[in-house]
Each structure stands twice: as structure tokens, then as C-alpha cells.
Chains A and B, each alone.
Chain A
Amino acid sequence: MYSSTVMDHFKNPRNVGEIENADGIGDVGNPLCGDMMTIYLKIEEDVIKDIKFKTFGCGAAIAVSSILTEMAKGKSLEEAKKITNKSVAEALEGLPKNKLHCSNLGADALHLAIQNYEDKKAGIVRPAPKREEKHEHDHEHREGEKCYCPYCNVEVKEDLPFCNSCGHSLKTIQQTIQ
């Protein structure tokens, strides 16, 4: 089901843990597939000196967190911002279609942690992210990105509130970033 790279990162996850007095923290979660992820950053002169993660989630979510920390470590913030869901999934040699959203979590958590650091530096205080019920396909689709029903794996057209194949409602609880 998973590539050997995914299994390697799942079985021997890198950089698990927390960083005390972290410079940036990114918290994302999607209870639909049971994934919640926290990324901790230690930053010196706009370079990620250390990065740790804590993840509640499936094998894919743990592997995504692990490889993401390897990809980001030592990078400048500008470089780290260029890490995308796609590059994480590629580094893992692919993910099953219905697990691609796990890779979204990883990049999102990293970008949130960087934003958290930059906000602190600039003195901006943002309200804590709030979970609200939202339609799954309210998220923006990057060009060429396909979306699959998390229940039956069939491609979902964006304007449907339910999957045309299995009929499952695609309404879910999603994290929104304010």
C-alpha cells in the first residue's frame, strides 16, 4: 500500500518531539482522517536550525511529518516556504490517492510555523485557528491538482456536495486559518 520510503519514515521517524521555547509553532488538524500535526521551529538568522514534530495520524501522516522535517532543516525561511505538498509527496515516492491530503497537512503546518515566527517578530497577534464545519471542496485547488473522494478514491468534481460515485457526503470539519 505504501512506498518503501513512506514505510522507512513511518518506522524510523526523524525529528520527533517538541522544542522548548520554540521560535515558531504550526498546528494543523483534520479529524476527518484523524490527523493532527504540530511543527516546532528553532530559527537563527532566518535559517531553520532545528525542527521537531508531533503527529497524531496514520502511517502516511507520520511519514509526511518526518520527511518534511528533513527537507526543512538547515533551509532558509525563504527556501522552506517553497516546500509544497507536492514536493513532500514526491520525496516520499508517492502516496495513495486518498492519502494525498496528509501531505497537505505537512506543508501547511510548516508554513504556519514560519508565519507564527514572522508574526511574533513583527508583533502581530492572530487569534487561535478555529475549527469550523466547512465543505471539503471549499479549499482552493492549485492548477492541475486533482481531488479524490477520501471514502472511495474516485476523482471528485469540485462543485458537488457529495461524491458522485459512492454518494458519501463530503462535508467535513476543516481547519480554517484566519
Chain B
Amino acid sequence: MKQINLDYLSANPLLPEVQEAMIKAIQANYGNPSSPHQLGDLSAEALTKARESMARLINSPSPEEIVFTSGGTESINQAIKGVALANVKKGNHIVTSNIEHNAVLRTLRRLRMMDYKVTSVAVNSDGLIDPTAVAQAITDQTILVTVMHSNNEIGTIQPIEEIVRITRQKKIPFHCDAVTSVGVVPVDVQKLGVDLLSFSANQFYGPSGVGGLYIRSGTVLWPLLDGGVQENNKRAGTENLIGIIGLGAAADLAVRDMEARITHCLHLKKKLIQGLKETIDGIFINGHPELSLPNLVSVSIKYIEGEGIVLMLDEEKILVSTRSACAAGALQASHVLLAIGREFADAQGTLVITFGQETTEADLERFLGVLKTVVQTLRDMSPLYKK
């Protein structure tokens, strides 16, 4: 039985070209990019090349504005804590949305333990944030606004440009968690106008454990890691060169193939939503109908719970995620689904189906067939379901 991966969100598969680039990088036996000898120079060149590739992907005017990190979580922690600590004398207030990823939520929760204040702006039932509500939340103590580009559970894409227009005017730094968007949909840091933007390679067919932070030059923030002068003195520690080379290769492919990938995914998404509606009664499709990621479908299935669905689909070699993949160990109902108005129990029966360029229509057809049986089996067991 062929494995059908509909859990690209947890980690994209490594494309063959990316694998090849990384294997070559391992075989090249690189040294430390900071060393002044020949091997160091060779390594520094490889690092620069990857940085340039990444800069092209997000249209950063200067590659030096990109700092490589261990992934989206570190980038987000760096951006938020870095700005908060550097601006402690200016103010202690941060504005965010109520559907951010845990990397943002828990970073802010940590800062609240240190007397920072956080205002969380509520989204509407499509998961969209209202820029005027952000403007109203800003006080003279506000030192940072952080809003995600697209949501990892429901896919809704936020009006970042409009929000940035407000923060620019008030001269407040803006951080965008663009982990689920970069490499998937066009993200142009100049057009968006953001000061900080987090991304992760495993969302665009690159390796896990590597990502980065775009830092507009002139943005004041403290490094999270102190030590050597790597990454333009913004992130100490010898670089994960093999991972970064993989990221660079994946960025090149994303620049080349993004349009084709979007077309392919949008077609699959349309088919999938239509198929879900035809196959299973008592479902909700979550997220904004248009302003949304092309590679993600979030569906709440009434009367049953998501983990059971995931385990039963797994028996048929079909991989999906329930709520945020990172929440698989946690048991709370998704704050995102509650924020868009889903009932507690319905939030529990929510699948996040994510796919990519290798996914076929036949994969989705088999998924729908198996899902139908699984849903019926679990509903027959559920005290909430009445035929």
C-alpha cells in the first residue's frame, strides 16, 4: 500500500534536488565559515550562496538582512524577545492576534512573567484580523506588533500590508511569523514592509532544524544567543551549514516552481473541499474561503475526535494532522478554532490536511474513501451522534 502524506505541515518531504545538495555538502567536508583559511573561505562562500537564494525568495534587498537560525521557533523567539529586551526603556506593551502559533503565544506568556503587557486582538469567524482593531490596541507603551502571515491550522492569510501601514506610521517595529507562508505563497518583505519576518525551511521542501529571520537593517533587537560574531553579529554559534545549504537549494526551487505549485495545490484544494462536502455530512471547512493558503484544508467533523481519525487513517498509511501538529502531545482544544467560533467538541474533531506538488487527485480520492469509513466507525461509537 502506497503511503499518502497529507501532513506536509509537520514537515515537507525533502525534494530530491535538496537531498542531492545536502549530500554533496556533506561530501564536500566543509569547515567553519568563520575560519580565515581556505576551507573556511570555501564554507563562507557556500553560506553566502544560500543567503542570496533566501534573499531572492523573500525579495530582501540585501542578503545581510537574513539571519539563519535553527527554525521558525527560534526565529520567532529571537524576534519577539530580542525587540522586547532591546526596548525595555521605551515601553512594555506588545500587540498580537488571538490565533498565533504557540511559538508566539508562549514567548509572549514568558514575557508577561517579566511585566510585559500583551494585547491580543480577536479575529473574525474567517480567522481574519481587522487592522483598525490593531491600531486601537496600540498604546504609547507599545514596542512591538506581531501578527502571523498565514495561520497554520486554518490557512487564513492576514492583511499584513495594511497592519504595517499603521505600525510604520507609529514607528513601532512589526514582526511577521511567516513560517507557513514563505516558499508557499509570494512573500515580499519590501512590499509587506515588515521589520522582522520568521521562516522555516521545512515548509518549502527543505530540511527541518533550519530556518531564519529577516531583520530589516536598522531594527534594534538583542541577540538571543551571545557568543561569536556569526550571522552579522546577530546569532552566535557556528552555522548549521549542511542544513543551510539544503535551505538554499529549497529556496531556489521555490522561486522557480512557486507558481506551478500554487496552481497544482489550488486545484487539489478545490477538489478536496468539494469531495469532503459530498462524502461526509456534518462538517465545517475552516478558514477564509479565498484569502487562504493553497496547500491547506482544515475540516471540523462533528461528533468525533481527531486523534482517533488520525490513528485509524494511519492504519491505512494515510498521514494527516489533527489541529496543530505541534499540539499532538498537548490535549487542549485548539485556541485557533475556538477563536473563530467553533464549539469545543467540534474543535476536537478537526483535521488539518496539507499537501504539495507530489500529491495527486488519486491520493485524495483514496483518502476520501477511507475517511468516510473511519468517520462512520467512530460516529457509531460516539454518544454525541444520533442517526
Contacts and interface: CB of A to CB of B under 8 A. Distances in A.
B384 interface: yes
Interface in B320-368: 329-333, 344-345, 348-349
Given A31-B345, A34-B333, A152-B330, A10 B308 contact: yes
A57 B345 contact: no
B310 to A, nearest CB: 9
Given A31-B345, A98-B329, A37 B106 contact: no
A56 B329 contact: no
Interface string B105-145: 01001100100000000000000000000000000000000
Contact of A167 (B109, B306, B315, B345): B109
Contacts of A37: 383
Given A13-B381, A151-B330, A56 B345 contact: yes
Looking at chain A's contact residues, the main secondary structure is mixed
Interface residue tally on B, bucketed by range? 20 to 34
A137 B177 CA distance: 35
A35 B106 CA distance: 26
A33 B331 contact: yes
Interface of B: 106, 109-110, 113, 303-308, 311-312, 315, 329-333, 344-345, 348-349, 380-384
A106 B6 CA distance: 33
B307 A54 contact: no
A57 B332 contact: no
Contacts of A98: 329-331
Given A34-B305, A57-B305, A16 B331 contact: no
A162 to B, nearest CB: 10
Contacts of B345: 31, 34, 36, 56
A59 to B, nearest CB: 5
Contacts of B381: 13, 16, 54-56, 62
Nearest to A152: B330
Given A55-B381, A56-B345, A56-B382, A153 B308 contact: no
The CB with the most chain A CB atoms within 10 A, among B106, B303, B305, B315, is that of B305
Contacts of B383: 27, 36-38, 54-56
Nearest first, the 8 A-B pairs at minimum CB distance are: A34-B348, A54-B383, A58-B307, A33-B331, A56-B382, A38-B383, A34-B305, A31-B344
Nearest to B381: A16
A48 B48 CA distance: 73
Contacts of A35: 305
Interface in A7-54: 7, 10-11, 13, 16, 27, 31-38, 54
Nearest to A167: B109
24 contacts: A31-B344, A31-B348, A32-B331, A33-B331, A34-B344, A36-B345, A36-B384, A38-B383, A54-B382, A56-B345, A56-B383, A56-B384, A57-B305, A57-B308, A59-B307, A59-B308, A59-B311, A98-B331, A151-B331, A151-B332, A152-B330, A166-B106, A167-B109, A167-B110
